[in-house]
Structures are given as C-alpha cells and as structure tokens.
Amino acid sequence: MKGKKSKVLAVLLALMLVVAFVPACAQEEPTDDPGADQPAEEEVTIKAAMVTDVGGLGDKSFNDLSYEGLKRAQEELGVEIEVLESKEITDYESNIDQLATAGFSPIFAVGFLMTDTVIKMAPEYPDTQFGGVDEFFDPPIDNVVGLNFKEQEGSYLAGVVAGLATKETFDAKLNPDNVIGFVGGMDVPLIKRFEAGFIAGAKSVNPDVKVISLYAGNFTDQAKGKELGLSLIEQKADVIYAAAGAVGLGTIQACQERGALFIGVDADQFETVPGSGDVMLTSMMKRVDIAVFETIKSVVDGTFAGGENQVFGLAEGGVDLAPYHDFDTKVPQSIKDAVAKAREDIISGAVTVPDAL
C-alpha cells in the first residue's frame, strides 16, 4: 500500500516539475547570442553579462528589463552579452564567479538580494566591473556601481493620476467614493518608496483622498494579489496601484472582474500583460534597461563610475509614467496638465518627494 502511494506521489511530482517548466520555457530564449558570431569590430570586445535573481527571465520586471538593456547594448554598441539565470540563492556566487573568470566585465547582479554576494565577490575580482541593480553599497566599492531608482518620484506621478481620477467619472469603473488603493509586495524600504510617493502625489492634488495600503508578503503569489485587489475594491477603491511584481497580475484580474482601474509598475504593463488594456490606466516605468545600457556604455567609453551609488530619478529618465494607451482619449486634459506640472516641479526641485512614510 505504501509503495503504491509513493508511486502516485512520484508521478504527481514529476508532473509538477514538468508543468513548472513549460511556462518558463515558453517565455524565453535567453542565451541565444547572435552577437557572439559577429566578428569584433574593435580590438578588445567588451563582454557584458548579467546574473538574474531567483525570479529568472520572464518575470516581466527587473530581470527582463535588465536583459533588455543588455540586448540594446549588443545592438548599438556591439558588445558581447551573456545572461546566467539563478535557480537558487547559492547560484549567485557561482554564476558571478564563472562570468568573472571568463573575463566578462561589466557584470550586472540584479536585485537587492544579491547585494551581499557582490560585496563578497567584487574584491576578489578587482579588474572586473560590477553593476548592482537595486543595490546600495555602503561603504562604496571601487569596482562596483550601485544602480538605484527614485521610485518615489514616478510613484508620485502615479498618485497624481489616481488622486484626480477617483474624483472624476471619465470611465464607468470609477465610483463616487474618494478612495484609492495600493498593493505592495514585501514590506521593505524599497517598496515603501513606491507607497510614500504614491500617497504624496495623490494628496497633493486631492488632500481628502483616502489611500488604503495592503501588503502581500512576497512578489510571486498572484492569488494573494487578487484577494488583496478584491478587498480594496470592497472598500470602495476605484484606482489601484501595485508595486508587487507578479502579485500585481492577480490584482489586475480583480480589477477586471469587479470593475476598477489599475496602474502598473516597472514595465509599461499595457505592453507586457496582454489583455489588460480595459483596466490599465497607465504604468510607473522603472527604466532598469536604461540604467544597464548607460553603465555598459560608460565601460565602453572608459568613464565607468566605480565606487558610486547612482540614483536614477525623473530628471535622469530613470522613472516615468507610461502612456495612457486605451484611456488616452478618456483621460481629461486637466489630469494630463497636472501630471506635466508635477513632473516639472520634481525635476526643477520645487517639489521634493518623500522616500518613506
């Protein structure tokens, strides 16, 4: 009896693994590397590489965006590129080690979970240049540049849109209640920046607005994202902003089912989440691709800013709002003007956006 049971379990497990694999392989073609076949034009070819977080490619977020930056560098700068995906946290070190040994530089370590690994590995390879996406190095390391973003500035603009939209009735999904919602991934300082900016932006144009914030506790659980979305809508929120990775995909479903508008994050989610156009008001784009590309460019130009922690805000084009797409004709000019003014004020320094609650 026991044998039978364990066999059934074995088959189930095998199926689970296969199922886990299928969507993953459907999404990507990661290590195809046409650039490697082209003859190098310069004497020394720059070889740029990245190590993904455990989320891997196909996350529609910072791993994919970093890869976009690499691909652009391959096309425009003719550098050779490589991407290694991490399946486990213990892969970070071995992946970085392999790339550094093979002469790749710069090497991008994507995601704040890799901060410690970079701190440990960078001194072992002093001639290799490292870029840490979402990583802040204190004290700074000579051959490492930290690539950080002022998520609060882009989120402020998202807040302006949401704060004004909830007072309007330009779409049937907007209700008369002056309530908007925020869904966060993990309750960490990085995500708090999104929340703080969003609330500040909303209150700047609509001081009485009620902003309800809920946290999922992770960046992967879509069912949880849907649950939180439904709960927010239940509490009369009609515009929801999610800074929660894949969790937000569940929140989009909640908005579609129960009728609310959604503001996406990281990428222009109108483009990356098919079929979401009916609720996707706009997205707060975090241009990790630009930061990665610019860093590679600096290595090519010989101006690599090692030992610095760079911060990409609105002024640097590191964060911004995506187009309104399907809502472009519906969104009143007054909202568009308010966003334009807020953008100017932030860039000119007239408004400083808080980075914590």
Residue 260 Cβ vs other proteins, minimum distance, rounded to whole Å: 27
> Residue 151: left if φ>0, alpha if ψ -120 to 50, beta else—which one?
alpha
Cα dihedral across residues 11, 14, 20, 25: positive or negative:
negative
Q: How far apart are CA 342 and CA 326, in angstroms?
A: 23
Closest CA to 283 of 3, 61, 67: 61
- Give the integer Cα–Cα distance in Å for 9 and 3: 10
The least CB distance from residue 321 to other proteins, in Å, is 25
| Of 146 and 201, CB closest to other proteins | 146
Rounded to whole angstroms, how far apart are CA atoms 259 and 232? Answer: 11
CB nearer other proteins, residue 154 or residue 184: 184
In the complex, the smallest distance separating the C-beta of residue 286 from other proteins, rounded to whole angstroms, is 16
Q: Which is nearer to other proteins, 138 or 208 (CB)?
A: 138
CB of 171: closest distance to other proteins in angstroms? 36
Which 3 state secondary structure label does DSSP give 1? coil
For other proteins, the closer of residues 82 and 195 by Cβ is 82
What distance in Å separates the CA atoms of residue 293 and residue 174, rounded to the nearest whole number? 39
CB of 277 to other proteins, least distance (A): 30
Residue 308 in tokens:
């610095």
| Binding residues for other proteins (CB under 8 A) | 2, 5-7, 9-11, 13-14, 17-18, 20-21, 24-25, 28, 30-33, 54, 82, 84-85, 87-91, 93-95, 98-99, 102, 112-113, 115-116, 136, 138, 186-190, 217-218
- Mention every residue, 6+ apart, whose C-beta is less than 8 A from residue 20: none
For the bound state, the minimum distance from the C-beta of residue 109 to other proteins, rounded and expressed in Å, comes to: 13
- What's at 135, amino acid-wise? E
- If the CB atoms of residues 25 and 350 are measured against other proteins, the closer one turns out to be 25
Cα three-residue angle 87-63-186, rounded to 5 degrees: 80
Checking DSSP bridges between strand 309-312 and strand 280-286, what pairing results, if any? Answer: unpaired
Task: Provide DSSP, 210-228.
Answer: EEEEEE-SSSS-HHHHHHH
C-alpha to C-alpha distance for 115 and 309, rounded to whole angstroms: 13
Minimum CB distance to other proteins, residue 15 (Å):
8
Instruction: Provide the minimum distance between the beta carbon of 30 and other proteins in the complex, in angstroms, as a whole number.
Output: 6
The secondary element (H helix, E strand) that includes residue 193 is helix 189-205
